[in-house]
Structure 1
Amino acid sequence: MTIYSFERLPSTQKWLVEKVASGEVEPPCAVITELQTEGVGSRGSRWIGRRGNFFASVALPATMLPSDLPLGATSIYFAFLMKKTVQKAGSSAWLKWPNDLYLEDRKIGGCITAKKGGNMIVGIGVNMVDAPRGFGVLDIKTTPMELLETFLENLKNPPSGKQVLSN
């Protein structure tokens, strides 16, 4: 899978949505940036983050998703996969319904999705080194690129929609 890497972007989600829509990039692909200045959060909120945190988006043809996954559950699905990714590395992060990652009682990350044509685009943010007041930071040591590569590896053999939703 092609990974586009940048030092700085306003939003990985907006960048990938625009590039997929214009045909400039072909899914499956991912984009990651060291610094995101206008991140997109759930319900129109902003995802504020600092350099060194995880800012990435992944575009997949919808046909790569499990056939039993309801379209409305894609954010939950991808958040679950990210939770499994960080837990496999030793984190004690947990998933708060429907798409937020938490450590104890502090939010450390989240996922949003957008459907564009026949593609699903998921944006993921995780506080890895620093967080705004009231938020938490991931409890394992890894790099944003390592985290993305592990997440993408997990997409090669994903669980069914039923498995994720029953968890």
Structure 2
Amino acid sequence: MKEHTIKLAILKTLSTGDFISGEELGEQLGVSRAAISKHIKGIQDWGIDIFRVQGKGYQLSQPLQLLDESILKASLNAPVELIPIIDSTNQYLLDRVNELESGSVCIAEYQAKGRGRRGREWVSPFGSNLYMSMFWRLDAGMAAAMGLSLVVGVAIVEALEKLGLNGVKLKWPNDLYYQDRKLAGILVEMSGQAGGAANLVIGMGMNLMMSEQTEGITQPWASLAEVADKEHIDRNQLAITMINTLNNALNDYEIYGMSGFVERWNRLDNFLGRPIKLIMGPREITGIAKGINEQGAVLLETENGVESFIGGEISLRGTES
């Protein structure tokens, strides 16, 4: 973290969107103009566009709202830690499960090694998105965690709705979609022993203002700015609402299980009533999506009737998953 102090200070100064010269930045931070130039290059490696105009100085391509740990802590009952630069928020919590309070949260501005489901990389440019993980101790054990990513998805969409952001849907088992494009991904990782409590780390990465030129994006994606129909999204308020809503949903899940979420999930199913294919290894099943059941399985109406499946990847029939 210490090695990033100057870069983060530069970003805070530039976050208004105004021009500022390398000389001014150097004077403020007690370093040379050459050092500022080097730090600017490092910031650009985080995926941030910074312009340099002769005679004016440096400027961000668009204003940047940084997350503020003091605002987050003042508005949350849950322990929250903001680590601007991190390898992975999920891994940070996984490494500390024995010392964390249930409901503890880690938030970052940039993940160097963000990951998604099935070991895929999650592209994580600085400040453009929201990267968040929550630790939860599930006393009912690992078997009770089946379908937890569905519960998390419901909570995140309901949090967006509380903020007036409507039209976001769910893709079984762990993605948020907007207009048939991926908006956010959920990754639940767990550890524990048979007969004991399950230690769960619930990660979520959401595109907020992702540049169309972002490297590493290989599938159609959506940004929350489209849903909001505006450039500015209050990232601190978004994080606070998501954390509070997720905390409430997980408490509900401990009491009611999946039965309390089936209707809530089906209301938000992006593929409900649509022809889809389910890919399970070398096997492909086609049918009409019929939502989920109380086990968290996806329901497909096939030529054999309505069947349930607990694994695989789904997509609209005739498209890639």
Q: Match for 1:153 among 220, 232, 244?
A: 244
Q: Match for 1:143 among 234, 237, 240?
A: 234
Q: How does 1:18-167 map to 2 (within 5 A)?
A: 18-20=95-97, 23-52=98-127, 53-63=129-139, 70-91=144-165, 92-117=167-192, 118=197, 119-130=199-210, 132=214, 133=217, 134-138=220-224, 139-140=227-228, 141-158=232-249, 159=252, 160=256, 161-166=258-263, 167=266
Aligned with 2:126: secondary structure? coil
CA root-mean-square deviation: 2.2
User: 2-side partners of 1:4 and 1:123: how far apart?
Assistant: 14
User: 2-side partners of 1:156 and 1:106: how far apart?
Assistant: 27
1:165 partner amino acid: V
Question: In the alignment, which residue of structure 1 is the partner of 2:85?
Answer: 8
**Structure having the larger proportion of residues in strand:** 1
Select the structure of larger CA radius of gyration.
2
* TM-score of the two chains, using structure 1 as the length reference: 0.86
Does structure 1 retain, via aligned residues, the 8 Å contact 2:82–2:108?
Answer: yes
Identity %: 27
User: 1-side partners of 2:203 and 2:247: how far apart?
Assistant: 18
Measured after TM superposition, the shift of residue 70 of structure 1 is 4.1
Please give the per-residue CA displacement for 1:20-54, whole angstroms capped at 9, x wherever unaligned: 1xx34332200000111211101111110222210
Please give the per-residue CA displacement for 1:84-131, whole angstroms capped at 9, x wherever unaligned: 111221222111111101110210101111122332210000001115
Does structure 1 retain, via aligned residues, the 8 Å contact 2:100–2:135?
Answer: no
Runs of at least 5 residues in structure 1 that lack an aligned partner in the other structure: none
* TM-score of the two chains, using structure 2 as the length reference: 0.47
User: 2-side partners of 1:83 and 1:24: how far apart?
Assistant: 30
2:190 partner amino acid: K
Moved >4 Å (runs of 4+): none
The aligned length equals 162
Does structure 2 retain, via aligned residues, the 8 Å contact 1:49–1:130?
Answer: no
User: 2-side partners of 1:3 and 1:143: how far apart?
Assistant: 18
